[in-house]
Amino acid sequence: MVELPANPLAIELSLTNQELWWQTKDDSDGVEYWRASADVWGLDPCPPDRRHVGLFRLAVVELNPERNLLDSLEVGEWEFEYIAETVLNLNDGTLVPELDAQISNGMQRMVILCGFELAEVWRGHGLAAPLIGATLGRFSETARLAVCRISPADFNGECPDRISAELTALRLGALLERVGFFLWKGVYVVDLNDRALADAGFGLFRQWGPCGGDC
C-alpha cells in the first residue's frame, strides 16, 4: 500500500456556509449550503500539493411547514426532490411518521450529504468513513438526521459500463452503512446521535495515535 502523505490525525475540517453576500435569513429558500474541506493543518509536515485531503458538499433543510423543502425546489433538482418525496410528508415538510419514529429527538433540521470526494493520493486508506462521520457529527446538535441518495446513474460518466456504475453505487452504500446509515426506501439515512458516526475514526486513532496500534 502506498504510504500516506501525512499523519491522518493531523487532518482538520473547515466548514463553510455558502450563500450570496446579500442574502438574509428572510431571503433564504430554506436550504443552507455547506462545504467541508479536509486538509492537513499547517503545523504538520506534508508536501504542499498533498495537503488537501477531500471535500464534502452538504445542504441543511428545516423540517417544518413554513419552510417546506418541496416548496423551494426548482426544476432539475431531482436528487433533492427524490429525497424530499421519500422522507417528508408532502403536506407539511416534516418527516414521515415511520421514519420519524426511528430518529432521536432534536432540532427539526435535516442534513443532505450531496457528495464527497477524496484526493487521489489519499484514497484507499480508509479515510472516507471517518471523515464523513466527523463532518456529519458537526451538525449533531443542530439537526436530527442526515440523508444521502446514491444512484448508479450518478457514475455513468466515470464508469465504463452500467455494471461498473452499479457496483460503485453498492460500494459507496456499504461505506455509508459503516458509519451508521441504513437504507430506507432508496435513501440512506442516519440518526445524527448514532455513536457509529463518532466511532468510525476509532481505527485511525488506534493505528496513528500515541499507542501506535498497541492500545
pLDDT along the chain (215 residues), means of 10: 83 93 69 94 89 95 71 57 88 91 95 94 94 97 96 76 84 95 96 96 83 56
pTM above 0.85, yes or no: yes
CA distances 171 to 151, 166, 175, Å, are: 11, 9, 6
69-117 pLDDT, tens digit each: 655 555 445 677 889 889 998 888 889 999 999 999 999 999 999 999 9
- Whether 177 is covered by a domain: the verdict is yes
Strand, helix or coil for residue 202 = helix
- Whether 83 is covered by a domain: the verdict is yes
Residue 156, all three cell numbers: 455513468
Domain that holds residue 81: 8-208
Domain count, the chain: 1
Neighbours of 187 (CB within 10 A): 20
pLDDT value for 76:
46
- Whether 3 is covered by a domain: the verdict is no
pLDDT value for 44:
85
Name the E strands within the chain. 11-18, 31-40, 52-62, 109-118, 145-148, 182-184, 187-191
CATH number of the domain within which 182 lies: 3.40.630
- Whether 213 is covered by a domain: the verdict is no
- Whether 215 is covered by a domain: the verdict is no
Nearest-angstrom CA–CA distance, 120 and 52: 10
- Whether 23 is covered by a domain: the verdict is yes
- Whether 146 is covered by a domain: the verdict is yes
CB of 60 within 8 A of CB of 32? yes
| Sheet arrangement for strand 11-18 | 11-18, 31-40, 52-62, 109-118, 145-148, 187-191, 182-184
